[in-house]
Every structure is written in C-alpha cells, then in structure tokens.
Amino acid sequence: MTLSLNEMEATAKRATRGGLYSWGLAEEAAKATRWLCAHGLDGGAVLAALLQRRFAASLQDHTPENLDEPWQCKTTLCPLTAGVTLSDCAERLSQRPTDMRQVAHPLLILPFAAQVARKLERSVTVTSGSWEAVTDGTALSMPQEAPDHSEHLRIELGGVLSELRPHRTRATPAPETRAILSRFAQLTYAPATEESRRLGAGAGLSDND
C-alpha cells in the first residue's frame, strides 16, 4: 500500500510527537521524511528506526554540546537536533565545513543539508567514509546506500550532481514501518492510563504544551 506524500508527512509528524519530541521537531522530522520519500528513499523506515531508539527521553544527551568543531555529544547525535542546528547555522558553511561525530541515521541529515543548499544557493555535499550525497536543495545525487551510523560526518559546500535520484509523488512504507509509526502516533491521543504513561503518552502530549 502506498501513501501520498501529504499522508506520509502527517503520519511522520504525529509519530515523532508520540516519540516525545516537541511539536517543532516533529514538524521538522515530518518535512524531512517527506523530502526523503520524494527522492525515492525510505524516509518512513529511517524515522521509525530513530524513534525506536528513544533519544527524546534524554534529548540533551543527543544534542550537539556546542558549535565548536566537531559537533558531538555525550553519546550519539540525534540527526533531527543536529539537522535543525545545521539549517539554523547555514552561513557557517560559507566559512568552513561542519564535522559531526557519532551521528545516528545520517540519511536524516540530507533534508536539512538541502535546506542549507536552498538558503545559500549552493550545492552541499555530505560524506561519511565512502558514502557521499550531493544536493542543490531540490535534486539529490546519492549512488550508495547511507549507513545506519556515521562515526565522522562532514557537510560542506560544493559538489557535482550526478546520477540524480528520480522524484516520487508517493511513499511506499513497508507494513512493519507503518505499524511502528502508527504505534507511536497513537501515543499522542491515547488516554492517560498507567500503561500509556509508561509508554510516554498522556496529558504531557497535548497540543497545549
């Protein structure tokens, strides 16, 4: 079963919020998931894998400690917090590359690199070992599959687009991916029972926080 990109974005937003991220980060995650799916990548699966790691329960431990090089934290960097920070600090790339250490699911960095490319009107290259991706904000070149974890991720201006990924108008999440995202999404409106509190739902997930 396929989903429209609008449906994928809405599902991703609700699931990310159910995973205890703020509504602001949930919106960013939803846009990032949609961008990946629009480029023929399994954005839903990578988001589901991230949510299962429960980073949001102690997000301060997975956020860049400072913006000195390299960006790192106490454990593993969350690609959502790192990606949003990258986009907010786009002008820094005009001066020097940004290096990150121990990044989970670096594929989720690409949509934020695309935001930087659009802001600066320059191509942006993201590399980790032999993996390389180049985007101008709209198109994406990524010949190899992205790793699940990057010990050293570099983002820098420049790069040549080649072997462009085809654009898609629908997402094709696997049944298990949809099940995971649905389970997290349900936590945003589950009744505040002892069980739902244990799983992270309840009043703390209302739209009024």
1 band by pLDDT with thresholds 50, 70 and 90: confident
Chain mean pLDDT for the chain? 92
Give the length of the chain: 209
- Looking at the chain, the whole-number percentage of residues with pLDDT higher than 90 is 85
199 band by pLDDT with thresholds 50, 70 and 90: low
The pLDDT tens digits for 89-146 are 999 999 999 999 999 999 999 999 999 999 999 999 999 999 999 999 999 999 999 9
Residues with Cβ within 8 Å of 57's Cβ and at least 6 positions away in sequence, in order, are 20, 200
Mean pLDDT of all residues in 6-16: 98
Scanning the structure block, which residue is given the tokens 């995650």? 29
pTM of the model: 0.89
- The predicted pLDDT at position 189 comes to 81
- The predicted pLDDT at position 17 comes to 97
- The predicted pLDDT at position 209 comes to 42
Strands, E, within the chain: which ranges? 3-4, 98-104, 124-128, 131-135, 140-141, 149-157, 170-171
201 band by pLDDT with thresholds 50, 70 and 90: very low
Angle at 191 between CA 19 and CA 27, to 5 degrees: 30
Q: Please, are residues 99 and 125 in contact by the beta-carbon 8 Å criterion? A: no
Q: Please, are residues 113 and 86 in contact by the beta-carbon 8 Å criterion? A: yes
Of 175, 118, 104, 167, nearest to 140 (Cα)? 167
Mean pLDDT of all residues in 33-53: 98
